Structure 1
Amino acid sequence: MTGLAEYELHEGEGGAVLTLTGPYLVSTIGALDEELRDLPGPIAKVDISGVTEIDTVGAWMACSISTDHQAEITGASDRAQRLLGALDGIDSEQELAAPRLPVWSRVPEAMGEKMFNARTGIVGVVSFLGALLISAGTLLRNPRRFRMVALVHQIELVGVSALPIIGLMSFLIGIVIAQQGAVQLAAFGAETLTVNLVGRITLRELGVLMTAIMVAGRSGSAFAAQLGTMKLTEEVDAMRTIGISPMEALVIPRIMAAVLMMPLLGFYSSCVAIIGGAVVGDLMLGIPFWTFLARIQEVVPTYDVWVGLIKAPVFGLIVGLAGCYHGLQVRGNSEEVGTRTTMSVVSAIFAVIVLDAFFAVFFTELGWG
């Protein structure tokens, strides 16, 4: 049939001859591929004089048959000869793998490359922070340019919408702390100190820290994804073109919302965790619910509350900066949005934990231990 690749296997003078006819192109030989691979041997000669058109795939097929059966290829046109010559000596069965350096060379090289690239990231963060401070100064001089509606919207997203998930998380954490603490303190007959444990650890450390981690995973990732998508669709560039500063319109409302809502969310988280501990105290330890809450006021020093409230806005600033910075670094394609979103969450959580350790040492040195 005209336009289709065909073959015929017949006996010749020196043995079996395979005659190929028609166009042997990638678009025509798919139907014959399995049949040609399963031809019974031996084949002495492959005649391609009847091939009207041939490309690299067709030449590869003829070459493969010739190699498998140790057959001679005859009747090749000039084009076919060039293609067969280019494919000569190529083994289709050999493993194709890039050269790989030994581990003692590869690992230090990768670490050095990452350390060198970290310099670019540090410079970028410092530049971003400088641009943020300049935009904040501009808004202080021109308060009318501040977008209050955008700030209120972000406060709703960062704060109000996060109350259910943070409340549930904190309640369960309070239950776990109280239950596990009571089990350990029971060995010393000091179950009543569970009140001290729950109150101090939630108000001073875990309430704010876990809230910051939740806000980083929830709102920080949203900041990065939203700004990254806007950067990818050139909305950020369009804003600059019409004279709107992306820092003023997009970044500052998000960072301010994170900074303002973190103290409230952190305190809310601590209170809900204490309620969870009080529930465990009532059900397992025989400490009445209201007695547990009243005891909290007696055993938790006021400076523990201040420690949590001081750390909260700093953690909010870190989360907001990480999300907005990585969102505005998106380049090229949509995959970069996911990559930068992940980087924003990881870097924010890492920075929050490092800062929390720093604050722990700092406040201990101040005598607020």
Structure 2
Amino acid sequence: MTDTAAFSFDRDTVRFTGSLSLSAIGTLPEQLRAFQGEVAHVDLSAITRIDTVGAWLVHRFAAEHDADVIGLDADGEHLLSQVAHADQPVAMRPAPVGSLTRVVGEIGDAVVHTGRTLYGLLGFLGATLIAFWHVTTHPKRFRFNAVIQRFEVVGVSALGIIGLMSFLIGIVIAQQGAVQLQQFGAEFLTINLVGRITLRELGVLMTAIMVAGRSGSAFAAQIGTMKLTEEVDAMRTIGVSPMEALVLPRVLATVIMMPLLGMYASIVAIIGGLLLCWVSLGIPPVTFIQRLREVVPITDLYVGLVKAPVFGLIIAVAGCFQGMLVEGDAEQVGTRTTSAVVQAIFLVIVLDAFFAVFFTAIGWK
């Protein structure tokens, strides 16, 4: 008696016999393809063995004739169900997508990603405020030395580059303003331009952009590296809160130093404008300062001082947030650092536009 697979047809039932395995199937696939008839049931009660190949043949035959499979034990039914589940059409090549559909899809993905990032950033800001409250209610947990160290990194070390940038910006503003105003014989208004735009807008804004590129990126890289080396997890293991030990000192240092850096940048920019007006327009420094006191309202100084700590908070939170998202490999550190700088600068500019409208609406023009 041979164990070769075979089948017979009786009325509306096809009965398989023998071993439905790869070694015993023989010409059974060709016979099944050539079979003609109405089949309601496929009976496997007389088979001696069935493997994946046999189960696939039975499944395809039953599917083609819309027949029920009967006579299998529990193991056989499980094998047949797994084969049926895996028998799905596979697209070898993706369907071509139109240009409009692709562009709309990319825009949608970008919007969703931006929304999720802003949501996560808002949650991280809340966690930072909670950590600040815990430190406020438990002063012994405040890391004074860490904050002082960040003062040096964020503020003192940045004085040189921020001073140079602000000095050159003051010169550029004065030179371009003088060139345009000389056409109307009003070059003395260059003093108004330099004084108001540096104290109200550019002094704080350019400082925020410089701090975002310098300190915000450093925060993301430092915390991201600590995430990769599992130092953050180790801190949690020994009961130290990373928000209090890593994030809060950086946030406090940036918030406190930003008004000081913004004021410093504004003063240096005014000095640059003063020198340009003295050399190019012949306006003595004493006249420049007297005119500056007359035309620049104190509200311009208040505007800059109000915006500076908010910008510092956004920069520090964005940098620390992206650093905490690092995982996987070292490439993530670079990616998250870039994202921290881009997000911080974008949010600073958006907030600056909001402040401009807000202060104008309340009469600080």
CA separation in 2, counterparts of 1:320 and 1:225? 12
CA separation in 2, counterparts of 1:116 and 1:179? 44
5 Å-filtered alignment, 1:11-160, equals 101-160=97-156
CA separation in 2, counterparts of 1:326 and 1:306? 31
Note the C-alpha offset of 1:128. 1.1
Question: Which secondary structure does the structure 2 equivalent of 1:187 belong to?
Answer: helix
Specify the alignment match of 1:354 in structure 2: 350
Specify the alignment match of 1:255 in structure 2: 251
The CA RMSD over aligned residues, in Å, is: 1.5
CA separation in 2, counterparts of 1:257 and 1:304? 24
Question: Which secondary structure does the structure 1 equivalent of 2:239 belong to?
Answer: coil
**CA gap 1:133/1:367 in 2 versus in 1, 3 angstroms:** same
For 1:289, which of 262, 285, 298 is the aligned residue? 285
For 1:318, which of 314, 324, 327 is the aligned residue? 314
For 1:226, which of 222, 225, 242 is the aligned residue? 222
Specify the alignment match of 1:215 in structure 2: 211
- Aligned letter for 2:305? L
Specify the alignment match of 2:10 in structure 1: none
5 Å-filtered alignment, 1:137-286, equals 137-286=133-282
Deviation per CA, 1:313-364: give whole Å up to 9, x if none. 0000110111010010111111111011000100110000011111011001
CA separation in 1, counterparts of 2:354 and 2:249? 28
5+ residue gaps in structure 2?
Answer: 1-92
Specify the alignment match of 1:46 in structure 2: none
Note the C-alpha offset of 1:136. 1.0
Note the C-alpha offset of 1:294. 2.9
Specify the alignment match of 1:336 in structure 2: 332
CA separation in 1, counterparts of 2:171 and 2:344? 27
Q: TM-score, normalised by structure 1?
A: 0.72
- Aligned letter for 2:284? P
CA separation in 1, counterparts of 2:219 and 2:94? 39
5+ residue gaps in structure 1?
Answer: 1-96
Question: Which secondary structure does the structure 1 equivalent of 2:197 belong to?
Answer: helix
Structure with the greater alpha carbon radius of gyration: 2
Question: Which secondary structure does the structure 2 equivalent of 1:359 belong to?
Answer: helix
CA separation in 2, counterparts of 1:131 and 1:354? 23
Note the C-alpha offset of 1:140. 1.0
- Aligned letter for 2:329? N
Question: What is the percent sequence identity of the aligned residues?
Answer: 65
Q: Which moved more, 1:118-127 or 1:233-242?
A: 118-127
Deviation per CA, 1:178-205: give whole Å up to 9, x if none. 0000000001100111111100000000
CA separation in 1, counterparts of 2:176 and 2:281? 12
CA separation in 1, counterparts of 2:194 and 2:350? 23
Runs of 4 or more, structure 1, over 4 Å off, are 97-100
CA separation in 2, counterparts of 1:129 and 1:282? 46
- Aligned letter for 2:186? A
Note the C-alpha offset of 1:129. 1.7
CA separation in 2, counterparts of 1:281 and 1:130? 47
